[in-house]
Amino acid sequence: MSETWAAGRIALVTGATSGFGEAFARRVLAGGGRVIATGRRAERLDALAAELSTDRLLTRVLDVRDQASIDALLSGLPAAFADIDVLYNNAGLALGLAKAHQTDLADWETMIETNVMGLARVTRAVLPGMVARDRGDVMNISSVAATYPYPGGNVYGATKAFVRQFSLNLRADLIGSKVRVTSIEPGMAETEFSVVRFGGDAAAASNVYKGVHAMSADDVALVCESVLKLPAHINVNTLEIMPVQQAFGPFAVDRGA
């Protein structure tokens, strides 16, 4: 990351304990910025802090489903981290690939609480400061699943469609301010995403990426960095990215009539 982009900027990253969030946090820090790295797993945050050993990194345990912990985080930020420039709204998950009529309702609730309400809560908490300062970037991590349906994607894809549309509607509300909003919509990227989706089944997760040069978490961070580095008068509304080895399927047709 170029010094000119990140130096002096403060990024709040949700879901910084692995995958996209961790990779983005590392890039901002490498570029001279400050990062508030958050997630539920304290041991991961501690390991990151120990490895990077810099006073430009602040780690905080945060569950985006918990409004009180979001309020406590923001009201307790030290002055050097208080004026957030970049909100990397990334915490999220998919649970299972069951068909809608067979799925566990609790999995739907968890995805909606995390991917929809969690992202909305953090945005609502951070946005007033950005508007008051008349600067900031909100990067909302959506997915290709927001646009392209697939079997078993039911509520996961719908939560990501929310993220995309919410991002566009934020732009509508923020006209007149210099705050930018982008919906980042990645396809296959090898992170812990599939391990989580398959309930910890590492073999099932690695099958997803077998024979595919999938994107890495850092590939996605690189794309996000390129968006953030654009001149301040340019807003990328939505950005869809896939590995070259991923594309679209045909419509399904039931020929059983």
User: Closest approach of Cβ 168 to ligand NDP, in Å?
Assistant: 17
CA nearest to 123, candidates 161, 90, 77, 78: 90
Among 57, 189, 224, 228, binds ligand NDP (CB under 6 A): 189
Whether 93 and 115 have beta carbons less than 8 Å apart is answered as yes
- Our finding on whether 192 is near ligand NDP (CB under 6 A) is yes
Distance CA 166, CA 40 (A): 24
- Our finding on whether 167 is near ligand NDP (CB under 6 A) is no
Whether 229 and 211 have beta carbons less than 8 Å apart is answered as no
Q: Return the amino acid letter for 151.
A: P
Among 143, 154, 182, 183, binds ligand 8X3 (CB under 6 A): 143
* Burial class of residue 178 in the structure, from the number of CB atoms within 10 Å of its CB (0-12 exposed, 13-18 middle, 19+ buried): middle
- Interactions with ligand NDP, residue window 58-117 (CB under 6 A): 62-65, 90-93, 114
Whether 225 and 1 have beta carbons less than 8 Å apart is answered as yes
- Our finding on whether 41 is near ligand NDP (CB under 6 A) is yes
- Our finding on whether 140 is near ligand NDP (CB under 6 A) is no
Among 144, 174, 220, 228, binds ligand 8X3 (CB under 6 A): 144
Which residues form the interface with ligand NDP (CB under 6 A)? 14-15, 17-21, 39-41, 44, 62-65, 90-93, 114, 118, 141, 143, 186, 188-189, 191-193, 196, 217
